[in-house]
Structure 1
Amino acid sequence: MADTVSVTIPEGSDTSRTWRLTTDGAPLDLSGVTVTAVIKPSPAYEDDDAAAHTLTAGNGLTILDAAEGTVRLDIPTLVTDAPSTWWYKIIPTVSGETEPAIVGWITVTDV
């Protein structure tokens, strides 16, 4: 079951956020693990919809410390351009198993 973590970001921010992926309360070792993040207008949108933003290693997603399970997402400026709410999920692929580790809302607030 994925952890639910929601964040608030001010409108117009060029920002990133860091998350720690865990399994049973312990850090998920990301050594050799593929991690993808998807940010989309709502859970009703498909991950490959034109309105969705897919972040991968070297393209908006950085594994900061594999042993500690920490990743940084560079939030696309298209997401923070205006007050809005976006659904996101961070998905590790471990031993062929793909399941979201963290899901939640990104709320972009008016400044």
Structure 2
Amino acid sequence: MPATVNVTLSQGDNTTRTWQITSNHTALDLTSATVTAVIKRDQHVDDDDPTAHRITTDTGLTITDPAQGKVKVRIPTQVTAYPGAWYYKIVLQAGDDTEPAICGWITIEDT
């Protein structure tokens, strides 16, 4: 089951956030893993929906400390443009296993 972490940002923020992927409170080594993030209006929206933001190592996700399971995700400005809430998940692929490691809501507050 993924860890749930909710995030609050201000409208118009141009920002990144760093998460640590763990299992049983121990950092997972991401050295040979693939990590992606998806940010979408609702958890029921398909990950491949054109309104979803899929973030990879080519588009704003950085594994900053593989041994400590740390990843940094650039939050798209389209997400922070207006007040509201977005569902996100960070997905870990290691070997044949692909599963969400962290999920939650990004709340954009009116400024």
TM-score using structure 1 length: 0.98
1:17 aligns to what?
A: 17
> Is 1:94 matched with 2:100?
no
> Is 1:83 matched with 2:87?
no
Give the alignment of 1:23-102 within 5 angstroms. 23-102=23-102
1:15-55 deviation line (CA, Å, top 9, x unaligned)? 01000000111001000100010000000100000110000
Structure 2 residues without counterparts, runs of 5 or longer: none
Within 1, Cα distance between the matches of 2:34 and 2:7?
Answer: 23
Which amino acid in 2 is paired with 1:29? D
Which amino acid in 1 is paired with 2:73? L
Which amino acid in 2 is paired with 1:42? D
> How far 1:101 sits from its partner (Å)?
0.4
Count how many residue pairs are aligned between Structure 1 and Structure 2: 111
Please give the root-mean-square deviation of Cα atoms over the aligned residues, in Å.
0.6
> How far 1:95 sits from its partner (Å)?
1.4
Identity %: 50
Which amino acid in 1 is paired with 2:52? A
Within 1, Cα distance between the matches of 2:51 and 2:59?
Answer: 17
